[in-house]
Amino acid sequence: MKFYLQSLNARDFLEVNQALTLSGVYTEPTDFTRSEVNVNETLKSLLEVMSEDQSILVYGISNGFRNMLEEGKHLQMFSKQLVLTVPADVNGYMTLKASKRMGVNTACGRVFELEQAVVAMHNGAQKIVLDLEKIGRFASAMDVLGRILAEAEKSGYPLDDIIAVCATSEQLRQAMAAGARSVGAPRSVYDNMLYSVLTGSETAAARDEWILTYTRPEVLDREEH
């Protein structure tokens, strides 16, 4: 199972990653605009606390195929861990095809139905992002997720590369029951998963104990011997 955190906060990433190894970060354009953060500085802060095999999915803000492609190339120059995420439309599909040929990491988001996912898979999307909350406004999110997972398995597309983004703990449970192997969620959902049986004070004490125990070099040295 792979987990992605929806947060731009490096501390959030560190704390969740301590208890649950994350595959990366999932972002929406509004994650940057709402907090009015500096994009470059925020990405640098996240990358500093991530390992090389963890990635950041960054939704593109450009319009048009050529502009999207340039944005993807710019992100790739910034860091190989950044994955441009384009919409499931004509310009996005063209960007996926060109990016695959050029070796630019590109994912496909804003997928609401099976047909969009099929085209994204066919055009070489490295990952497909399904926002279950948004899909649920138009159809049964779990039905759509199930159909896409079944088609991916039939066509040989890696199920790990289909990310079901969940807004609540219940959605997370449903997505896992439907067969999702990768999920994305905000900090609150992971906190509920990891610490739901603890009170607030017990949660803080457990986190402090982990930090004191497993980040002290002398403890690690003693365990090795």
How large is the average pLDDT for residues 59-74?
A: 92
- pLDDT of 30 reads 76
pLDDT digits (tens, 9 = 90+) for 85-99: 999 999 999 999 999
pLDDT at 25 over 90: yes
Q: What is the residue-wise DSSP string for the chain?
A: -EEEEE---HHHHHHHHHHS---EEE--HHHHHHHT--HHHHHHHHHHTS-TT-EEEEE----SHHHHHHHHHHHHHH-TTEEEEEESSHHHHHHHHHHHHHT--EEEE---SHHHHHHHHHTT-S-EEEEHHHHTTTS-HHHHHHHHHHHHHHHT--GGGEEEE-SSHHHHHHHHHTT-SEEEEEHHHHHHHHHTTS-HHHHHHHHHHHHHHHS-HHHHHHHH-
How far, in Å, CA of 182 to CA of 3, rounded?
A: 6
Q: Which residue has the higher pLDDT, 67 or 36?
A: 67
Distance (Å, whole) CA 202 – CA 207: 9
**Out of 33-47, 66-80, 91-105, 151-165, which region has the weakest mean confidence (pLDDT)?**
33-47
Please compute the mean of the pLDDT values over residues 36-50 and round it to a whole number.
89
User: Does position 73 have pLDDT exceeding 60, yes or no?
Assistant: yes
Asked if pLDDT for residue 57 goes beyond 60, the answer is: yes
Q: What is the pLDDT of residue 31?
A: 77
Output the pLDDT for position 189. Answer: 95
Give percent of the chain above pLDDT 90.
76
Q: At what angle are helices 10-19 and 200-214 packed, to 10 degrees?
A: 80
Q: Which residue has the tokens 């998963």?
A: 193
Residue 163 pLDDT greater than 80, yes or no: yes
CA nearest neighbour of 148 among 167, 121, 173? 121
> 131 or 207: whose pLDDT is higher?
131
pLDDT at 199: 59
Domains of the chain, residue spans:
2-196
Q: pLDDT band for position 35 (50/70/90)?
A: low
pTM of the predicted model, to two decimals?
0.86
The tokens describing 16, both together, are 């969740």
What is the per-residue DSSP string for 31-76? HHHHHT--HHHHHHHHHHTS-TT-EEEEE----SHHHHHHHHHHHH
- pLDDT for 37 equals 73
CATH number for 2-196: choose from 3.20.20.70, 3.40.50.300, 3.40.50.1820, 3.40.50.2300. Answer: 3.20.20.70
Structure tokens at 2: 């792979």
Confidence at residue 194, expressed as pLDDT on a 0 to 100 scale: 85
State the chain's mean pLDDT as an integer.
90
Tokens representing 80 are: 């190989």
pLDDT digits 0-9 by tens, 184-203? 999 999 999 887 665 566 66
95-115 pLDDT, tens digit each = 999 999 999 999 999 999 999
